[in-house]
Amino acid sequence: MARVQLKNLEKVYGGGVKAVHGINLDIDDGEFMVFVGPSGCAKSTTLRMVAGLEEITGGEVVIGDTRVNDLPPGKRSIAMVFQNYALYPHMKVRGNLAFGLKIAGKSKPEIAAAINDVARILEIEPLLDRLPKQLSGGQAQRVALGRALIKKPGVFLFDEPLSNLDAKLRASMRVRITDLHRRLKAEGLSSTVIYVTHDQTEAMTMGDRICVMQAGRIMQVATPKVLYNHPANLFVAGFIGSPEMNLIEGHLTGDSFVLGSQRLALGADMLGRLSARPADAVLGVRPQHLALAPDGLQARLTHAEFMGHEVYLHADLEGRKIIAVVGTAEYETLGRAGVIHLRPTPEHLHVFDKSDGRNVSLREGSCAA
């Protein structure tokens, strides 16, 4: 069993600087959980407390049924894959894979069998007699994965493992890691994963659930689909999605959202969803949910980015910069238009309270994991 529980977890450094603010999180046995957020949000600090590499100031970490606060890393049933791979440079791949098992007192036949199994799964059999300096970045990352996998831990911890790879290799390794996780689950092996990244593409494509963090606090925990469609607050709305969500400041007046000299009728569905009607509000709409329409909001087109099958339209809406994503054929109908009209899809609109960032337009239960 490899369920992981964080209970009121805190980290305070010297001088009273609090990095982690009493977070609570349940990670199910076999779940692939991703911690994502900007640099400095304490996602790696949290991971290191789970690993036993960072002292816990307050709260608890429970792995399985065991409180591990006072256990050293080697006693926590975890294996960690680092950003820099941390391979022993003087040992060949075979020796790197075998090292942990030798320390654990395994027999030579057991070690050889384990190496063969891991090498087969990760397709690194031809690399076993090479030194780390003879490996490419992708090969070294697979060996680092193998060194973690061979220990058969209850929990795999990944600390930004793909950040040193180029874009093509990152995409390939994302697929390899998620496929490996599914294969281990299918074989009935415990494969709980906690994966730290600042890259939302990795988070959205790899995680069963995602924990979005900011300044040592959890902003929202949910599936990728829920985070994208039902962000709980302004931070999640602006962080998740590419291009990022348009967040337009304005005012709620009657049945409309007013921005500058323009007024957008919200419609009965949106008005029924509102849990509050803050005077100072922020309208949220993703670029993919803005369509060209003759009766839409008027904006001044400032720039267009041709992306192949679609075009990113950058525009000025009452002094606010926005982006709309339209099809190439739609864009070609614009000609040299300097002014465009954009209509948001009503069911994909969000209204946030400017004062505290809450999404006040969520249906009950829609942002839950």
Best CA proximity match to 353, nearest among 260, 269, 244, 237: 237
Same domain, 115 and 254: no
**Strands, E assignment, 152-289:** 155-159, 192-197, 209-214, 217-222, 246-253, 256-259, 262-265, 280-285
Number of Cβ atoms within 10 Å of the Cβ of 71: 15
Enumerate residues 6+ apart whose C-beta is below 8 A from 335: none
Dihedral of alpha carbons 23, 54, 207, 83, sign = positive
Segment 235-245, tens digit of pLDDT: 999 999 989 99
Same domain, 179 and 309: no
Same domain, 207 and 333: no
- Provide the pLDDT confidence category of residue 1 given band limits of 50, 70 and 90: low
Same domain, 215 and 340: no
In a domain, 363, yes or no: no
In a domain, 101, yes or no: yes
User: Do β-strands 209-214 and 32-36 pair in parallel, antiparallel, or remain unpaired?
Assistant: parallel
Q: What integer pLDDT is reported at residue 165 of this predicted model? A: 81
CATH number at residue 37: 3.40.50.300
C-beta separation of 311 from 331 below 8 A: yes
Q: What integer pLDDT is reported at residue 15 of this predicted model? A: 85
C-beta separation of 170 from 138 below 8 A: no
Q: What are the backbone angles phi and psi of residue 219, rounded to the nearest 5°?
A: -85, -40
Same domain, 308 and 191: no
Distance CA 6, CA 227 (A): 21
In a domain, 219, yes or no: yes
In a domain, 126, yes or no: yes
Q: What integer pLDDT is reported at residue 162 of this predicted model? A: 86
* Structural domain harbouring 334: 243-353
Best CA proximity match to 250, nearest among 240, 259, 241: 259
Distance CA 145, CA 16 (A): 37
- Provide the pLDDT confidence category of residue 333 given band limits of 50, 70 and 90: confident
Q: How many domains does the chain have?
A: 2
Same domain, 157 and 180: yes
Same domain, 12 and 75: yes
Q: What integer pLDDT is reported at residue 168 of this predicted model? A: 85
Segment 59-101, tens digit of pLDDT: 999 999 999 999 999 899 899 988 787 889 999 999 999 998 8
Q: Is residue 334's pLDDT more than 90?
A: no
Residue 337, phi-psi category: left (phi > 0), alpha (psi -120 to 50), beta (remainder): beta
Mean of the pLDDT values across residues 307-322?
93
Segment 269-289, tens digit of pLDDT: 999 999 999 989 999 999 999
In a domain, 115, yes or no: yes
In a domain, 80, yes or no: yes
Distance CA 213, CA 215 (A): 7
Beta bridge partners of 323: 314
- What whole-number percentage of the chain has pLDDT above 90? 67
Enumerate residues 6+ apart whose C-beta is below 8 A from 24: 6, 7, 8, 9, 218
CATH number at residue 282: 2.40.50.140
In a domain, 85, yes or no: yes
In a domain, 362, yes or no: no
- Provide the pLDDT confidence category of residue 181 given band limits of 50, 70 and 90: confident
Enumerate residues 6+ apart whose C-beta is below 8 A from 263: 253, 256, 257
Same domain, 198 and 63: yes
Same domain, 158 and 268: no
Total length of the chain: 369
Segment 295-307, tens digit of pLDDT: 889 999 999 999 9
Same domain, 208 and 260: no
C-beta separation of 56 from 11 below 8 A: yes
Q: Which residue has the tokens 């384990």?
A: 114
Same domain, 154 and 217: yes
Same domain, 138 and 15: yes
Between vectors from CA 115 to CA 120 and to CA 28, what angle results, nearest 5°?
80
Q: Is residue 205's pLDDT more than 70?
A: yes
